[in-house]
Homo-oligomer: A and B are copies of this chain.
Amino acid sequence: MKGIITMDHGSGYGRTSELIESLFLASFSGTGLSDQGDSAILSIGSDHIAFTTDSFVIKPVFFPGGDIGKLAVCGTVNDLAVSGAHPRYLSCGFILEEGLPLEDLERIVASMAQTAQAGGVKIVTGDTKVVEKGSCDKLYINTAGIGTIREEYTHITNAEKVKPGDVIIINGTIAEHGLAVLSFRNSFENSIISDCTPLSGLIEKCLESGADIRFMRDATRGGIAAVLSELAVKTKTGIELFENAIPIRDEVAGLCEMLGFDPLYVANEGKVLMAVSEKEAGKVLSVLHNHPDGKNSSIMGTVTEKHPGSIVLNTSIGGRRIVDIPAGTQLPRIC
């Protein structure tokens, strides 16, 4: 392979996907890697487990609504939860920059412990490495996670049951994590805070309702556009979105417009997208509306036989436009 790594390779879609397909899947498929969503579903004895990993390099490490430690726990807990798994155990690997104030580390670790408690997981193993000043940016954290998953939920992560007619539900307002970090980086004065939160409790309640949830994914890097675009391509269906039904705070929408960002592409850290059969949507919504992290839930789209592989947005002013996946990265180091 010729060329070099660019920031776009870290966008979470586009060139990241290219790298995964051309290099990681090609090299590791013989050892067991497959493109099956955010968690691998494995069998241990008679049990199924979900296994996932994420490294966190967010800049700055403290931001409105959270910090790298909270994010590192939420990210992995949410990857497990959206796979239909009950998150159980986390590992954490720290790469620390020489000179990092111990007070900062202490604050981050306390935040991890608190978030683990909230997310219902135990941090059971870890590792610490230190690199010279200038060889890392304060600290990077990797978390890997194990969850147990019931047989009847093992299809959720690969979307194989998604059908035209299903509706797309989101649990609340979008684009807050990305804009909170961006605003903080640029000293914009506003009240936008990250939505970073563990979704395990909310998702468990949805699953327990017995509703026929056919797909779930948390919309992080690349926003809801990245998740839905992957879903459309994978299931060879089309997705119709209704702009009026996509929850977004006025301040967030306003800032996006001012900066020329499309909120559909901006990162979230506490938003789950679900594809649900139309007749069961009410059941899921009533669970969501009764949960603090689901109050602003909404049916924001439908799965259709038309335009397979594409997303069409029905805009609030009555137009229709294709939602493409951009090749580049809007906001680097957002998680």
Q: How far is the CA of A73 from the CA of B32 in the complex (A)?
A: 14
A6 to B95, CA, bound (A): 12
A189 CB within 8 Å of chain B: no
Contacts A10-B130, A123-B31, A140-B95 hold; do A102 and B135 have CB atoms under 8 A apart? no
Please measure, in the bound complex, the distance between the C-alpha atom of A148 and the C-alpha atom of B45, giving whole angstroms: 9
When all copies of this chain in the complex are counted, the total is 2
Q: Is residue A55 contacting chain B, with contact meaning CB distance below 8 A?
A: yes
A134 within 8 A of B: yes
A177 to chain B, nearest CB (A): 16
Number of interface residues of A (CB under 8 A): 85
Identify which of residues 30-51 in chain A touch chain B, using a CB-to-CB cut-off of 8 Å.
30-34, 38-40, 42, 44-47, 49, 51
Residue of A2, A98, A140, A142 ringed by the most chain B CB atoms within 10 A: A142
Task: Indicate if the CB atoms of A51 and B125 lie closer than 8 Å.
Answer: yes
Q: Which residues of B contact A19 (CB under 8 A)?
A: 128
A296 within 8 A of B: no
**A300-314 interface code vs B (CB 8 A; 1 in, 0 out):** 000000000000000
CB distance from A34 to the nearest CB of B (A): 8
Is the Cβ of B57 less than 8 Å from the Cβ of A95?
A: yes
CA distance A302 to B39 in the complex (A): 45
Question: For residue A117, which residues in chain B have a CB less than 8 angstroms away from its CB?
Answer: 30-31
Partner of A10, one of B53, B96, B123: B96
Stretch at the interface among A105-113, A205-213, A231-239: A105-113
Q: Give residues 55-92 of A contacting B (CB, 8 Å).
A: 55-57, 88-89, 91-92
Q: In the complex, what distance in Å separates the CA atom of A49 from the CA atom of B32?
A: 19
Per-residue contact bits, chain A 145-162, to B (CB 8 Å; 1 contact, 0 not): 010100000000000000
B129→A5 contact, CB < 8 A: no
Q: Does any Cβ of B come within 8 Å of A322's Cβ?
A: no
A-B contact pairs, 23 of them (CB 8 A): A4-B99, A4-B102, A9-B96, A10-B130, A20-B126, A20-B128, A23-B109, A27-B110, A31-B117, A33-B126, A38-B125, A44-B88, A44-B146, A46-B46, A51-B146, A53-B92, A53-B127, A55-B95, A56-B129, A57-B95, A95-B140, A130-B332, A142-B142
Contacts from A to B (Cβ < 8 Å): 1-10, 16, 19-20, 23-24, 27-28, 30-34, 38-40, 42, 44-47, 49, 51-57, 88-89, 91-103, 105-106, 109-110, 112-113, 116-117, 121-132, 134-137, 140, 142, 144, 146, 148, 332-333, 335
